[in-house]
């Protein structure tokens, strides 16, 4: 593949706050720590004071979580390296999408691995480990229960509830799996068929794809790791400090004209147990678990936090600080919405004296195949023009190539001149005639506008083949109206070229926040 890039601004896919962040607008600087440049990672390392006791817990839990997976020397070495104070992590996170879900899941991880590689080259006296944070505690199954490939949707339907990582790959999954087993790669078959739970299968296939690149997979749904998080759990439940701090930061952003991405609650924790993950709300002196009969007094809840911290699951407001408390982490790589909501959270990090990581947009890309690339060449489209809507392109194209002026500009000017001169002459005879001619001119110009529309449609029919080509390009780049990377599964390209992911590793640069267009290499 050959890479070209465009400024993200021209794609129409990003919020004003995200664009202002990557373009380093001064007004955004109070909302983060260090801007992600290779040089600023020295400051991030100096500011990251990670306790040896936390390293010990992380090492023990990773060894436990990787039980059942045959570890290569690379993975074993990466896990053991976390015991060393000179080892740091760079992290991305994502839901447990079936068969990886949309393309950008792969893009996130490739960007993270490449960042670790660049940092290892730039700071050879340190060691940097790429991490994928599995969102096993997420409960929004509807967002992950399917994947799309070549325009077809494959969906798993189940009545299970609670944290999706604990979902069993039961008979309902086996029935779903029969519909895909004929075309999915063998490593997916092995991962799903040898696993009892969804989190287990995801760990296996991600490890297969990226383990040899040094990627470690962390599951935050872990009692020992949650113990480190207890001070934040307590303050959120009983003082509600995170909501106050996040609201303060959010208000400052809104005063600058930016829109909020997340909305903090008084309590930003879920109660989680087998088959249940529901919000906790305080009602008077009682803490209730919504959609259940479960409730606690304040004393009971305090005791539960101490004895079973794993029962408390952070929402989007607290998950980032949880991650940063249990990892020696320097950077978080996420999509545009993630980058924006992290900017709402720096006050929480400051309050708990947890260093705020570098916020790094993952790499963005659209992959073109040979047929689409040929259409683009025939139409003479520039990279920037690829992100125009079809209507916008059509308007410009027809205006440029029409056999006559579809706006009838010359005709309108001549008509206005005729009515203007005639109106002046007539108004000498009777003043009201001048107004009559002006009204007639307006009606006549409207008739010309209507004729101009007919001329445009005639020109469109004349250029029908080229317009259909442009529509095909747009549909390919935006299946179902959304950007390709948010819809297509990576198997769309992997099944044709098993070197697809290695090629991404070669082309992706984690410090380049441009939008990539990946074209076939016809050479």
Domain boundaries, the chain: 2-231+317-363, 379-481
Question: What local confidence, expressed as pLDDT, does residue 444 receive?
Answer: 75
Distance of CA 350 to the CA centre of its chain: 25
Tell me the average pLDDT across 472-494. 96
Q: What is the mean pLDDT of the chain?
A: 92
| 257-277 burial code (b ≥16 CB/10 A, e <16) | ebebbbebbebbbbbbbeebb
Give the least confident one: 118-127, 394-403, 504-513. Answer: 394-403
Contact present, 178 and 171 (Cβ < 8 Å): no
Query: Residue 30: helix, strand or coil by DSSP?
Result: helix
Q: How confident is the model at residue 459 (pLDDT cuts 50, 70, 90)?
A: low
Question: What local confidence, expressed as pLDDT, does residue 462 receive?
Answer: 56
Question: Spelled out in words, what is the top-level CATH class assigned to the domain 2-231+317-363?
Answer: alpha beta
For residue 406, is pLDDT > 60?
no
Lookup result for tokens 């009971």? 300
For residue 213, is pLDDT > 80?
yes
Tell me the average pLDDT across 103-113. 98
Q: What percent of the chain has pLDDT above 70? A: 94
In DSSP terms, which residues pair with 333 in a beta bridge? 92, 360
Q: How confident is the model at residue 494 (pLDDT cuts 50, 70, 90)?
A: very high
For residue 421, is pLDDT > 80?
no
Tell me the average pLDDT across 103-129. 98
Q: pLDDT tens digits, residue range 220-239?
A: 999 999 999 999 999 999 99
For residue 258, is pLDDT > 60?
yes
Burial class (CB in 10 A: 0-12, 13-18, 19+), 498: exposed
For residue 70, is pLDDT > 60?
yes
Tell me the average pLDDT across 283-306. 96
Q: What is the pTM of this model?
A: 0.88
């Amino acid at each position: 593949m050959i890479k070209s890039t465009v400024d993200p601004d021209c794609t129409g896919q990003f919020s004003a706050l995200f664009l202002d962040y990557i373009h380093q607008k001064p007004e955004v600087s109070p909302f983060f720590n260090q801007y992600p440049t290779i040089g600023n990672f020295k400051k991030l390392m100096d500011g990251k004071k990670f306790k040896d006791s936390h390293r010990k817990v992380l090492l023990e839990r990773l060894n436990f979580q990787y039980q059942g997976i045959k570890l290569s020397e690379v993975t074993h070495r990466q896990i053991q390296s976390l015991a060393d104070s000179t080892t740091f992590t760079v992290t991305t996170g994502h839901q447990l999408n079936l068969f990886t879900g949309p393309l950008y899941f792969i893009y996130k991880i490739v960007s993270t691995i490449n960042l670790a590689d660049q940092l290892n080259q730039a700071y050879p006296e340190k060691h940097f480990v790429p991490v994928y944070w599995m969102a096993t505690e997420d409960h929004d199954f509807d967002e992950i229960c399917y994947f799309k490939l070549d325009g077809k949707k494959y969906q798993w339907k189940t009545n299970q509830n609670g944290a999706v990582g604990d979902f069993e790959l039961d008979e309902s999954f086996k029935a779903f799996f029969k519909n895909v087993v004929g075309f999915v790669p063998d490593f997916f078959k092995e991962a799903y068929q040898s696993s009892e739970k969804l989190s287990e299968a995801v760990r296996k296939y991600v490890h297969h794809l990226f383990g040899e690149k040094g990627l470690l997979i962390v599951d935050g749904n872990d009692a020992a790791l949650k113990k480190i998080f207890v001070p934040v759990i307590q303050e959120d439940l009983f003082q509600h400090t995170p909501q106050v701090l996040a609201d303060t930061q959010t208000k400052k952003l809104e005063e600058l004209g930016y829109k909020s991405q997340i909305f903090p609650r008084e309590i930003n924790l879920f109660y989680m147990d087998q088959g249940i993950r529901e919000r906790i709300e305080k009602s008077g002196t009682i803490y209730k678990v919504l959609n259940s009969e479960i409730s606690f007094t304040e004393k009971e809840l305090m005791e539960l936090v101490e004895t079973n911290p794993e029962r408390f699951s952070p929402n989007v407001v607290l998950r980032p600080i949880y991650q940063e408390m249990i990892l020696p982490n320097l950077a978080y790589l996420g999509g545009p919405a993630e980058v924006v909501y992290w900017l709402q959270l720096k006050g929480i990090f400051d309050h708990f004296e947890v260093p705020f990581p570098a916020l790094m947009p993952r790499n963005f890309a659209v992959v073109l195949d040979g047929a689409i690339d040929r259409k683009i060449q025939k139409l003479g489209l520039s990279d920037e023009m690829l992100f125009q809507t079809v209507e916008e392109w059509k308007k410009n194209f027809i205006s440029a190539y029409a056999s006559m002026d579809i706006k009838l500009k010359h005709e309108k000017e001549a008509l206005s001149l005729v009515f203007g001169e005639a109106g002046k002459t007539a108004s000498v005879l009777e003043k009201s005639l001048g107004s009559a001619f002006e009204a007639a001119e307006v009606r006549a110009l409207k008739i010309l506008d209507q004729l101009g529309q007919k001329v445009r449609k005639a020109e469109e029919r004349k250029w029908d083949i080229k317009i259909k080509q442009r529509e095909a390009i747009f549909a390919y780049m935006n299946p179902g109206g959304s950007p390709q990377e948010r819809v297509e599964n990576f198997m769309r390209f992997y099944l044709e070229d098993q070197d697809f992911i290695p090629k991404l590793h070669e082309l992706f640069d984690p410090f380049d926040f441009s939008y990539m267009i990946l074209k076939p290499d016809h050479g």
